[in-house]
């Protein structure tokens, strides 16, 4: 086996998706704890001091207690290298989540045991389904009052039209929650409530459910219930089939309590054993296979100001193929220019270290000053264009102005950076001095105002507009395009990439434009690939 094939086989690149408050950030932290990346939940193994290493590192995230940007964390466990991408749970930041899901090979769906499938879980699942992303389910908070596990399995099956098979089975719930039985490995893991910082042991290996160890370790009523329920669930659910899981048709379900570190080891082991290694990436003129010798990758996210002292911008790149080494010269396909990659980084939330090398499936960060954009391809020379990385037309549009008129020019630069990062759409109308910001959800306006104030030192005000929606416009005939833009000059703007946009006042305005200029296309989504 070649070194490249061996490295690819060990990679597991996955995202965590959930509704807000299902415990996603806690689970992320505990996965890092089991992977040895942090010594205590929230503290990094760092030279000299224990720095905070929560996945929610942005100031605004810590203040609000929600994830609004995707974080990347790399760690080892069980002979595998894990690249974990934490995603925003809040629906107002769904576009960032969608793009993150283009960069992973599988996902972990976290469900609150008391609430089951919630709205945002369903939406994120649909995105996974569009991309055939396999899903492992983690039912969290079993140490609290929870719904009947049969109900939860039934809801996942009915709501998501997905076969389910429990990988572990809970013994009790709430105050009576004693632990879980690992159905795939025949192990009994008991919950010890001594200290939340302690890692539970690997559990007792059993010779099936009739093993006398169970009678010795569990109360009589708990053993009887466990045997009865597992017998029922094995009759009702299909056996675990790794191919059905990897094809996105079946989800193995783990039960646990992330805050008590319980069920996390089994989940990680399940990812190591069953989650797919890096998959082929869709691209034009051909798909890119991870085991190809030549290096290629694509930018799926830009994050500005990860280090506020240095005003930096990091392009997050998913390696699609090959072996990357620091100092490589690569082609930036969109511009045709050569990039020297001297300072690529690997991540642990906002902490980073120089990446001396990386392999297909890994995520690296490339510091840049605006030359890399979402969707860009980099390669060792081939003109590849990775597909399926979209921008969505925003449905909420507001004007933004600097409270200090002297900072108006600086505001333009800040907006351009945030737009390149994918935080929002930013449009500059061709007539007038206003900037228009477009978002998917209203919370994004508040977060943008916070970030512009704290990261760029520019207090701003967002104000309502009479605008209904934005559409990117395109036409084969450049003359027709010019005629359209001239006839609708007041409604034409440019986005941060210089693409033309039509700002409609209402549905009638949009329909009329479409009728009068049938050769012009009005686009709800724009492929961000170069």
CATH number 3.30.70.3280 given to 390-527 = yes
- The residue assigned the tokens 């076969």 is 163
Looking at residues 419-441, what average pLDDT do you find? 86
| pLDDT (0 to 100) of residue 51 | 37
**387 vs 295, which has greater pLDDT?**
295
DSSP 74-136: EEEETTEEEEEEE---SGGGHHHHHHHHTT-SEEEEEEETTTBS-HHHHHHHHHHHHTT--EE
At the topology level, CATH places domain 283-386 in: Rossmann fold (3.40.50)
How many degrees, rounded to 5, is the angle at CA 37 between CA 178 and CA 78? 65
Collapsing DSSP to helix, strand or coil, 302 comes out as strand
Q: Looking at 35-44, 154-163, 174-183, 511-520, which range is the least confident one?
A: 35-44
Q: For residue 372, which of 299, 312, 295 has the smallest C-alpha distance?
A: 299
Domain with CATH 3.30.70.3280 in the chain: 390-527
Tell me the per-residue pLDDT of 325-367, one tens digit each, with 9 for 90 and over.
Answer: 999 999 999 999 999 998 888 876 456 678 889 999 999 999 8
| pLDDT (0 to 100) of residue 409 | 87
| pLDDT (0 to 100) of residue 397 | 93
| pLDDT (0 to 100) of residue 37 | 64
Domain with CATH 3.40.50.300 in the chain: 16-63+108-274, 283-386
| pLDDT (0 to 100) of residue 92 | 46
Tell me the per-residue pLDDT of 48-107, one tens digit each, with 9 for 90 and over.
Answer: 333 333 444 445 445 544 333 447 888 889 899 999 987 765 454 456 777 788 899 999
| Bridging pattern class, strands 250-255 and 135-140 | parallel
Averaged pLDDT score across all residues of the chain: 85
| pLDDT (0 to 100) of residue 351 | 63
* Res. 494 pLDDT band, cuts 50 70 90: very high
Give the global pTM.
Answer: 0.77
CATH, domain range 16-63+108-274:
3.40.50.300
| pLDDT (0 to 100) of residue 68 | 35
Q: How many CB atoms lie within 10 A of CB 85?
A: 27
pLDDT at position 440 over 90: no
Q: Are the CB atoms for 34 and 264 separated by under 8 Å?
A: yes
Backbone phi and psi for residue 203, each to the nearest 5 degrees, phi listed first: 90, 175
Q: Are the CB atoms for 428 and 494 separated by under 8 Å?
A: yes
| pLDDT (0 to 100) of residue 187 | 85
The Cα–Cα gap between 42 and 29 comes to: 7
DSSP state, residue 176: G
* Res. 385 pLDDT band, cuts 50 70 90: very high
| pLDDT (0 to 100) of residue 93 | 46
Tell me the per-residue pLDDT of 137-182, one tens digit each, with 9 for 90 and over.
Answer: 999 999 999 999 999 999 999 988 889 999 999 999 998 899 999 9
| pLDDT (0 to 100) of residue 194 | 57
Whether cis (ω within 30° of 0) applies to the bond prior to 226 is: no
Tell me the per-residue pLDDT of 183-242, one tens digit each, with 9 for 90 and over.
Answer: 998 888 888 765 555 566 667 888 788 888 888 998 999 999 999 999 999 999 999 999
């Amino acid at each position: 086996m070649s070194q490249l094939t061996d490295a690819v086989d060990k990679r597991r690149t996955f995202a965590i998706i959930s509704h807000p408050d299902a415990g996603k950030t806690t689970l992320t932290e505990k996965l890092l704890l089991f992977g040895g990346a942090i010594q205590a939940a929230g503290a990094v193994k760092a030279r000299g001091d224990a720095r905070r290493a929560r996945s929610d590192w942005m100031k605004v995230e810590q203040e609000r207690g929600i994830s609004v940007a995707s974080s990347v964390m790399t760690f080892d466990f069980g002979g595998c290298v894990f690249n974990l991408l934490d995603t925003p749970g809040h629906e107002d930041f769904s576009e960032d989540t969608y793009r993150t899901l283009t960069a992973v090979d599988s996902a972990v769906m976290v469900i609150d045991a008391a609430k089951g499938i919630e709205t945002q879980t369903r939406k994120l699942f649909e995105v996974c389904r569009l991309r055939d992303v396999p899903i492992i389910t983690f039912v969290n908070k079993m140490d609290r009052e929870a719904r009947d596990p049969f109900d939860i399995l039934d809801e996942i099956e009915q709501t998501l039209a997905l076969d389910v098979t429990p990988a572990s089975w809970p013994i009790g719930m709430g105050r009576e929650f004693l632990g879980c039985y690992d159905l795939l490995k025949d192990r009994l893991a008991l919950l010890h409530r001594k200290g939340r910082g302690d890692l539970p042991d690997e559990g007792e290996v059993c010779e099936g459910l009739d093993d006398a160890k169970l009678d010795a370790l569990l109360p009589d009523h708990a053993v009887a219930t466990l045997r009865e329920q597992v017998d029922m669930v094995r009759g009702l659910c299909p056996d675990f089939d790794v191919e059905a899981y990897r094809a996105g048709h079946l989800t193995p379900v783990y039960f646990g309590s992330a805050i008590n570190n319980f069920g996390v080891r089994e989940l990680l082991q399940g990812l190591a054993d069953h989650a797919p290694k890096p998959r082929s990436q869709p691209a034009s003129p051909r798909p890119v296979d991870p085991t190809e010798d030549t290096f290629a990758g694509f930018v799926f996210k830009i994050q500005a100001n990860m280090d506020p002292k240095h005003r930096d911008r990091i392009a997050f790149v998913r390696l699609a193929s090959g072996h990357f080494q620091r100092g490589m010269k690569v082609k930036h396909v969109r511009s045709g220019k050569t990039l020297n990659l001297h300072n690529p980084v690997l991540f642990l939330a906002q902490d980073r270290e120089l990446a001396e090398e990386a392999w297909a499936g890994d995520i690296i960060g490339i510091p840049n000053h605006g030359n890399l954009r979402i969707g860009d391809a980099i390669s060792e020379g081939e003109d590849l264009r990775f597909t399926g990385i979209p921008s969505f037309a925003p449905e909420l549009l507001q004007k933004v102005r600097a409270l200090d008129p002297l900072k108006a020019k600086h505001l333009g630069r800040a907006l351009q950076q945030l737009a390149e990062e994918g935080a929002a759409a930013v449009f500059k109308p061709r007539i007038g001095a206003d900037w228009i910001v477009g978002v998917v959800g209203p919370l994004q306006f508040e977060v943008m105002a916070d970030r512009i104030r704290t990261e760029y030192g520019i207090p701003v005000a967002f104000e309502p507009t009479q605008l209904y929606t934005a559409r990117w416009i395109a036409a084969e005939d450049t003359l027709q395009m010019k005629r359209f833009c001239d006839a609708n000059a007041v409604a034409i703007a440019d986005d941060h990439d210089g693409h033309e946009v039509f700002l409609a006042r209402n549905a009638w305005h949009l329909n009329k434009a479409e009728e009068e200029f049938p050769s012009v296309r009005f686009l709800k989504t724009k492929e961000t690939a170069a």
